[in-house]
Structure 1
Amino acid sequence: MERVTDPVAENPHAHPDEPHVDGFAGRLNWLRAGVLGANDGIVSTAGVVVGVAAATTAREPIFTAGIAALAAGAVSMALGEYVSVSTQRDSERALLAKEKGELRDDPEAELAELAGLYEEKGLRPDTAHQVARELTAHDALAAHAEAELKLDPDELTSPWQAAGSSAVSFTVGALLPLLGILLPPAHWRIPVAVVTVLIALAITGTTGALLGGASPWRPTARVVIGGALAMAVTYAIGLLVGHTV
């Protein structure tokens, strides 16, 4: 369960507009991952439907291929994220269990280790030992998990949440090229789909860059050019296959 606290109450010197609430960095990472998932859905589905549209003007094959690409991509993203995050969560739990055992078996050595970590961060030895003693008295496992493992025992990543968010973000992204190529008349399908995809990629590229604190120009240019190249390749393949098969 996510722990939500009042940043001003816990730190009277914190500005109320600053993101000091626990889990803010984690939520920012999830948002960034969602943007990347949507970007994957846009590019992969666009490549499929543009390639099929280059081979045929019939709506049914384009729709079938697009839906298949959307479903397969969403399932693949969800499964991959679930396996990856489950493995990470298992590793984190193992590390926390090991740390808990060390605290139980040799608390004095663990206290000295924690004080040493704070000394390495710049605290004077007496201050570091005082901080270590107070944090250990409050919550020894949380103190060691944060200082040694960079983990919060109460906020381990959920594999189900990761899988669900990946599937949803991929699906939302995939719907854009699918609708862009199905809704217009036959002679406008590919141009409308290409414009829709490039605009969507520009938005996801800019959003992802801003969330990461980077200038948006180069990241946005990379995803837009990459998406354009992907559609160009699949369009060429669709033309070739459509005229030879």
Structure 2
Amino acid sequence: MKLARFASCAVNGEDVVVARAFEAVAAPTYLQVRDGDGGRSELCGLDAIGWKGQSVRVEAPELAAKTIAGLELGPEVQVVSLDSARLVGPTLEALHARGSLPWVVLVTVSAAERPPGAGKPELAGYTHTLFDGVSDYFLRLDHPELAAGLGYPACSRDDFTTPAQRELTVELDDATAAAGKWQAKALAGWNEHAAFNASSAAQELIAIRKTVSWRVTKPLRAVRVRAGIWRRK
């Protein structure tokens, strides 16, 4: 699934990184487990490029196992995205009980969970490939072929748009259309004004020519015209 102007839904480009890493994988799937306070939707943009995914919300980490047990998941989930480090253990345990573990685990990390100077986090059976400032990326050890794609954040090498860019594009298109309408209206007004002025000038000239003084001075104007012709000769 080639990234061709991928419409990212993630504020920090997490879905761009995941799509890049899984470019050669057919029909991948994801599961997003969101904390009770809402959280961000990092992976929904993958739906538009052929991924199949589910997003569930749990009120507390200890309820994750029960929630996941009730889901209709395929034989394997390639990517799991978690809104909090508190969800890692319960979620992976629930998936392991179903007979599989995700290839990639994506964990949103709060400032409290990742204080300055903290070392690289560890997750049994996985290697840490990236911390993009917001999320940790863990890759299952038996899928090293994905490591290169998961090694750096979304950047100019990836052909994608952000939610903010698309919003600004819509605003720019609306502003351009509005400006075009105002320009057309202004030009129409100027044309009408110019036509009105020309018509008014013509009417004034006709009115002048109808006056007594214009008719009386007609012979004098004729003499001045002839005199001008003689001088040019």
Q: TM-score, normalised by structure 1?
A: 0.21
The structure that has the greater radius of gyration is 2
Q: Which has the higher helix share?
A: 1
Structure number with higher relative contact order (C-alpha < 8 Å, ≥ 6 residues apart): 1
Q: Which has the higher strand share?
A: 2
Q: TM-score, normalised by structure 2?
A: 0.22
